[in-house]
Structure 1
């Protein structure tokens, strides 16, 4: 079975992190994703997709992104239901993010000023994995962005060294 979702869109409001009774960070948010066509009135239409992030993904999203920020995420669709206050069954559909990428600098105004590819976490496969310590957490305010339209190896001389740990497969 395959259940994979890839989205690129803008946050509809400032993300807020919450914690479970066990201290696990969680963040519910909505991503506005433009459709590939315009409506009959000529205006751009969008889908508003409910999403959820956990642990470091949730903390990084709340700490570094705000309403209007462009993000990319990969995850899976999860459905559920609960009983509403009126006693009727309410069905839910969310995208649970496995990884989130910040696609523009934190100080951007949400426009098309230099697009970057800033990853919030790297393969959060396990329950306690997330961004490497010091990369985005703590008091480390350093950020580095690589522009998508620039060759990151333009000034390199000779072969590029890649560690076995950097490869996405075993």
Structure 2
């Protein structure tokens, strides 16, 4: 048995970067800062990848600084470095579920929950 499941709550670090494909697919990339329990610690930064209707929702409702919750899985993007020829990789969270969270700072759209396109 194996499990690849990640749940994160944090603040968006960049406005969504949306890409539309000729096939009709939509992909959104953004970063998420997640604080640790220690107040002195720097936040951990995660790269998020969102597809389909959920990506469109992220484009329409998510902005830098907005608090969101995500559920998804960990994947690794891999490539060959053009300068050195070395294999490189970076972790990416493949988001399956997105939740817009409200706070004193974010009063609009609080509590909205959007599942992955497979759940629509």
Query: What TM-score bracket applies, with the shorter chain setting the length?
Result: 0.7 to 0.9
State TM-score, norm by structure 1: 0.62
Q: Distance in 2 between matches of 1:53 and 1:76?
A: 11
Structure 1: gaps (5+ residues): 131-170
State TM-score, norm by structure 2: 0.86
Deviates more, 1:72-81 or 1:112-121: 112-121
The aligned residue for residue 43 of structure 2 is 46
Structure 2: gaps (5+ residues): none
1:4-153 paired onto structure 2 within 5 Å: 4-39=5-40, 44-86=41-83, 87-104=85-102, 111=105, 116-121=110-115, 123-124=116-117, 126=118, 130=120
Q: Distance in 2 between matches of 1:18 and 1:112?
A: 26
Q: For 1:135-157, what per-residue CA distance to the aligned partner results, in whole angstroms no more than 9, with x for missing partners? A: xxxxxxxxxxxxxxxxxxxxxxx
Alignment check: 8 A CA contact 2:66 2:106 kept: no
Q: Distance in 2 between matches of 1:114 and 1:17?
A: 22
**More strand per residue: 1 or 2?**
2
- Structure 1 residue 19 displacement after superposition: 1.6
Q: What value does the CA root-mean-square deviation take over the aligned residues?
A: 2.2
Q: Which runs of 4+ in 1 moved over 2 A?
A: 110-116
- Structure 1 residue 9 displacement after superposition: 0.5
Q: Per chain length, whose mean CA-contact separation is higher, i.e. which structure has more relative contact order (CA < 8 Å, sep 6+)?
A: 2
